[in-house]
Amino acid sequence: MTSAYSAFAGVASGVAALDIRGLTKGFTTTGGERFLAVDGIDLTVQPGEVVAFLGPNGAGKSTTIDMILGLTRPDAGRVQVLGLTPEDAVRSGRVAAVMQSGGLLPALTVQATVDVIASLFPGADSEEVIRRAGLDEVRQRTVSTCSGGQQQSLRFALALLSDPDLLILDEPTAGMDVDARRRFWADVRADAARGTTVLFATHYLDEADHFADRVVMVARGRVVADGTTAEVRARTSGRAVSAVVSRAGADAALHTVPGTRIVEIRGDRTVFATHRHGSPGKASSDDLVRFLLTRTDARELEAVSLGLEEVFVQLTADGEVAR
């Protein structure tokens, strides 16, 4: 996707929408063990960028987002949002967020919920955000009777009321059907074209592939990849090999062909990730194909370049810090 990168009204020229340096946050388990949820993250997002923030569960995404929004204080490092502290940026209404859950009163109707929040922002247009979020037909429903996808659309409508310069989205399309997801991303794309900066976390990697200008992948609290989807794919030299193979055959490949991983199982088809060219301690995709054909019951083999999903699994499993 292409969006505006130049400075826009409300953000001074040369000021990053998001500037994170050395961000660190640790927690202590109930057993007294200390661990780092976020381990020295550096990240700069320019005005108008749409950035996908990806990582497996426990990678530190939500903790990082909490610190960007001023909900959690870092142990070390700093966060500047639109040149301000997170608290000041949020307080000014220049930052809005769509979170995975919470923040809604179940007894209120959709219309009443929007009207209450709109009253906090002079000039906010309740009708416009209800229309944009696709909530016109359910405006008189109580929140408790709305589906999960409709509630998520309501959170999006509320986030739009302040006309934010920075929009933070944490699993924004969770629970939405295909039409709602399509409408949601069309709206986000329109906002980005007008200069709104968007940072979103999602488990739908196709959303990152189609709608992000840039992908940032994190694992174990560190950034392991940062760039366009093409640049992130280029960080791995592997190929995906898929085959219809028994569980015993797949296990044999994992234990015999070095560097092989299973990244997905689609029905009776197993997708492996391996390296295009052999390197010390790791076999190539040709080695894997040869093993599957001669030593297992595999059939219908296909070898293709890694997609974003396979790259995601490989990079977040390796946990290498982005260079």
pTM for the model stands at 0.76
Determine the average pLDDT of the residues in 255-265. 86
Is residue 289 a contact partner of residue 242, using CB atoms and an 8 Å limit?
A: no
Please give the pLDDT value at position 323: 45
What lies within 8 Å, CB to CB, of 86 at 6+ separation is 67, 68, 69, 70, 79, 95
Q: Alpha-carbon distance 258 to 180, whole Å?
A: 43
Task: Give the whole-number percent of the chain exceeding pLDDT 70.
Answer: 90
Phi-psi region of 14 (alpha: psi -120 to 50; beta: other; left: phi over 0): left
Convert 31-43 to b/e letters by CB count within 10 Å (16 or more is b): eeeeebbbbebeb
Q: Which fold has domain 18-25+37-233?
A: Rossmann fold (3.40.50)
Determine the average pLDDT of the residues in 131-157. 95
Nearest to 300, CA basis, from 258, 259, 271, 273: 271
Q: What are the sequence ranges of the domains in the chain?
A: 18-25+37-233, 237-305
Q: Does position 5 have pLDDT exceeding 60, yes or no?
A: no
Top-level CATH class of 237-305?
alpha beta
- Say which range, 80-89, 103-112, 314-323, has the weakest mean pLDDT: 314-323
Residue owning tokens 């992000």: 212
**Helices within the chain (DSSP H only):** 61-68, 86-91, 110-118, 126-132, 148-160, 178-193, 205-211, 229-234, 247-256, 285-295, 308-318
Q: Does position 6 have pLDDT exceeding 60, yes or no?
A: no
